[in-house]
A and B are shown apart, each in its own frame.
Chain A
Amino acid sequence: MSSTWGKRLGLAASALVLLLLFAAPKLANGYIIYILAMMCINVVMATGFNFVIGFLGQLVFANTAFFGIGAYCYSIVMVHTGLPFPVAFLAACIAGGVAGLIVGLPALRLTGFQLAIVTLAFNELMRWIYLHSGSIGGGASGMELPDPQFLGLELINDRQKYVFILAVTVVAIWMVRNIARSTVGRAIVSVGAGELAAASLTIPPVRYKIAAFGLSGFFTAIAGALFALLLGRVAPESFSLGQLLLGFAMVMVGGMGTVVGPILGAILLTAAPEFLRNIAGAEEILYSFLLIGLLLFMPSGLFGGLCALIPSLRERHLGAAQ
């Protein structure tokens, strides 16, 4: 397989997907649009979370916390301050980034499993805060959000929201791909692969560990804000432990430490439940068999397996230009 063949396949696939997704609003009905929008949101969440568990290789359960912070921050600014929509959206992303940096601090001192437990506790603590947020966050009953305006365009029905969500998703993935291919991405990967080796090449491990958490918080919070936008409502029930494990599974199933992996994982695990309804417990058992199968036979995930077949598909951490 020459490298050009792999590149051509990659380009053709992404072109097809993009054409299809932008054409979808005209063709498909409300349900398909909603599922595609949820797919985009899960793609951004999985991509954001991949910074920490994929590139940095740290076991962390903070993705739903960042997701919730993004959603709630967006909602609070929209409901209470009346600031324009872009400001609310930006506030959510920055809040997620800051939360990422804060969660990153203990990561410097704690070993693998302790960090996993601290982030799990942080996640449950955030849910308690949403529940008791009273008038600010709408407390237990959640908050109804006003429909936003963006560049004069009213985002009311799903089609308009979907186009905006899709645009943000494409930009987010493009940015993540660029980061992965430039110094910061390479530095995070090298700190994750060998901290002392990276330090011996003048890469400060502390700075890039925190950067990985910050970026993870930033991008996952974008997904959170998009989720609140799509649903038009935010309530504590949406950020449960199940949501956390689903996000984790998406990155693992797709292929950790790659850009395309989490995208595939997010698409698969958003579509799968739609085809599997009404049998109590079946969904849980499907997830466990899916995970077990992958962990035993294809630990590098779907994309990892694909790269093994077509080596030239393997992603480079090089050249933002190429």
Chain B
Amino acid sequence: MTPRLKLEHVSVQFAGLRAVSDVSFDVAPGEICAVIGPNGAGKSTLFNAIGGYVRATGHVYLNDTLLSGKSVHQIAATGVRRTFQNGGLFLDLTVIENVVVGLHQSHNVPLVAGALALPSARRMEAEAIRKARELLDLMGILNLEQVLVRDLSSGQRRIIEIARALAVPAKLLMLDEPAVGLTTLEIEHLDQVLKALARDGISVLLVEHVLDLVMSVSDKVVVLNSGMRLAEGTPAEVKQDPAVLEAYLGYSELC
């Protein structure tokens, strides 16, 4: 089965610093893959390289279409969605407005039709609002519909950002340290949501520090250290791998 996401010798050079050097791995459809590593290991840089936010060498394939070299919104259009560590949501818009913006790819009212509020525009707008409400209901947060995102907790924001990202069916969801600032209850909720998405066939790429989330949710773990791929395998395998322990904790015993 062709992998959903395929990285071949991906490297990123920042004026003399090789933040990511020659990383290759695959992510299968419906698979949750976590990327972990000490601070400065190049996790976020790799993440941004895949999404087109940073220029990188090497090749990145999504269902064997080449992403490298494309601009951010073009990559997004192929079905790659992401959340941001912070500043991803539009704070001065309400929850439902954020989600409707997420529907940009599927519900795009042209300028003139929108300006003159033609019937076609009205229909598409109404449909977009209905679809957004459906999604919020699915995520169990329909009651927050008219609330400004600025007034929400980080846990609620995280769920809404995922809802917005998946407003249009996506093939790959990239999460940039989603568990940061979440309560344990919220992490468990996030865990179930990710597993549900994977069951629907969406591949998930996760950059995360909170190890118990990583260990419980991911099917595969890739460990980076100073830009290079150190290890790859199931959470259990990676847990015992001496090289990982060495790099991570400075000794070989993970208590």
Is any CB of A less than 8 Å from a CB of B in the complex? yes
Binding site for B on A (CB under 8 A): 3, 175, 178-179, 181-187, 189-190, 193-194, 196-205, 211, 257, 316-321
B104-119 vs A, Cβ < 8 Å mask (1 yes, 0 no):
1101111101111100
Q: Which of B94, B115, B117, B165 contacts A316 (CB 8 A)?
A: B94
Residues from chain B with Cβ under 8 Å of A204 in the complex: 71, 73
B208 at the interface (CB under 8 A from A): no
Residues of the A chain whose Cβ atoms lie less than 8 Å from the Cβ of B121: 178, 182, 320
Partner pick for A201 among B87, B114, B122, B164, CB 8 A cutoff: B164
Q: Decide if B109 touches A318 in the complex (CB within 8 Å).
A: no
Decide yes or no whether B7 CB sits under 8 A from chain A. Answer: no
The 5 closest A-B pairs by CB, nearest first: A182-B114, A199-B72, A321-B122, A183-B109, A202-B105
Q: B82, A200: Cβ atoms under 8 Å? A: yes
Cβ of A317: which chain B residues have Cβ within 8 Å of it? Answer: 93, 97
Are the C-beta atoms of B90 and A196 separated by less than 8 Å? no
A100 to B115, CA, bound (A): 18
* A186-B88 in contact (CB<8A): no
Q: Place the interface of chain B in its size category.
A: 35 or more
Give chain B residues whose Cβ lies under 8 Å from the Cβ of A201: 73, 76, 81, 101-102, 104-105, 164-165
Nearest-neighbour CB distance to chain A for B169, whole angstroms, equals: 12
Contacts of A198 in B (CB 8 A): 101
B122 touches A320 (CB 8 A): yes
Give chain B nearest CB distance to A255 CB in angstroms: 12
Q: How far is the CB of B116 from chain A (nearest CB, A)?
A: 7
Also in contact, A199 and B76, with CB within 8 A (given A319-B126, A319-B129): yes
Supply 12 further A-B pairs (C-beta < 8 A) apart from A184-B115, A196-B53, A200-B76.
Answer: A183-B108, A194-B89, A196-B84, A197-B84, A200-B81, A200-B84, A201-B101, A201-B104, A202-B76, A316-B94, A319-B126, A320-B109
Are A187 and B126 interface neighbours, CB within 8 A? no
The contact of A187 among B84, B87, B92, B104, by CB within 8 Å, is B104
- CB contacts (< 8 Å) of B217 on chain A: these are none
B117 with A178: CB separation less than 8 A: yes
Contact yes or no, B100 A318, CB < 8 A: yes
Q: How many A-B residue pairs have CB under 8 A?
A: 118
Residues of chain B having any CB pair with chain A under 8 Å: 51, 53, 71-73, 76-77, 81-82, 84, 87-94, 96-97, 100-102, 104-105, 107-111, 113-117, 121-122, 125-126, 129, 146, 164-165, 168
User: Closest CB-CB distance, B184 to chain A, in whole Å?
Assistant: 27
Could you name 24 residue pairs across A and B whose Cβ atoms are closer than 8 Å?
A178-B114, A178-B121, A181-B114, A182-B109, A182-B113, A183-B114, A184-B110, A186-B101, A187-B101, A197-B88, A197-B89, A197-B90, A198-B101, A199-B71, A200-B73, A200-B165, A201-B76, A201-B105, A202-B77, A202-B105, A204-B71, A211-B111, A318-B96, A318-B100
Q: Which residues of B contact A203 (CB under 8 A)?
A: 73, 101, 104
Give A196 Cβ to nearest chain B Cβ, in Å. Answer: 7
Q: Report A-chain residues with C-beta under 8 Å of the C-beta of B87.
A: 194, 197
Given contacts A190-B90, A196-B53, A316-B94, contact A184 B129 (CB under 8 A): no
A316 contact set on B, CB distance < 8 A: 94, 97
Q: How far is B30's CA from A300's CA once the two chains are assembled, in angstroms?
A: 46
* Chain A residues near B91 (CB-CB < 8 A): 193
Q: What is the chain A residue whose CB lies nearest that of B168?
A: A202
Nearest A residue to B77, CB-CB: A202
Q: CB < 8 Å: which of A178, A200, A321 contacts B116?
A: A178
Give, as a whole number of angstroms, the nearest-CB distance from A31 to chain B. 34
- Quote the shortest CB–CB distance from A83 to chain B (angstroms): 23
**Which residues from chain B contact A320 at a C-beta distance below 8 Å?**
109, 114, 117, 121-122, 125
- Distance between Cα atoms of A186 and B121 in the complex (Å): 14
CA distance A319 to B146 in the complex (A): 14
Contact B104 A202 (CB under 8 A): yes
How far is A202 from B78 in the complex, measured between Cα atoms in Å? Answer: 9
**Contact A196-B72, Cβ < 8 Å, known A190-B101, A318-B97:** yes
Q: Is the CB of A193 within 8 A of B92?
A: yes
Asked if B114 and A184 sit within 8 Å, CB to CB, the answer is yes
Q: Which residues of chain A have C-beta atoms less than 8 A from B94's C-beta? A: 316
Chain B hits for A187, CB < 8 A: 101, 104
Minimal beta-carbon separation of A45 from chain B (angstroms):
18
CA distance A320 to B165 in the complex (A): 23
Which chain B positions have C-beta within 8 A of A200?
Answer: 51, 72-73, 76, 81-82, 84, 88, 165
Within the complex, which residue of A181, A184, A186 is in contact with B111, where a contact is CB–CB below 8 Å? A184
A190, A202, A317, A318, most chain B CB atoms within 10 A? A202
Q: A170–B115 Cα gap in the complex (Å)?
A: 13
Nearest-Cβ distance from residue A191 to partner chain B, whole angstroms: 10
Q: Is the CB of A181 within 8 A of B125?
A: yes
Cα-based distance from A178 to B108 in the complex (angstroms): 14
In the bound complex, CA of A133 to CA of B89 (Å): 49
A residues near B53, Cβ cutoff 8 Å:
196
Asked if A199 contacts B73 (CB within 8 A), the reply is yes
Name A180's closest neighbour in chain B (CB-CB): B114
Task: Give the CA-CA distance A197 to B91 in the complex, in Å.
Answer: 12
| Chain B contacts for A182, CB-based, 8 A | 109, 113-115, 117, 121, 125
Residues of B within 8 A of A175 (CB): 115-116
Q: Are A178 and B115 in contact (CB under 8 A)?
A: yes
State in angstroms the CA–CA spacing of A202 and B122 once bound together.
Answer: 22
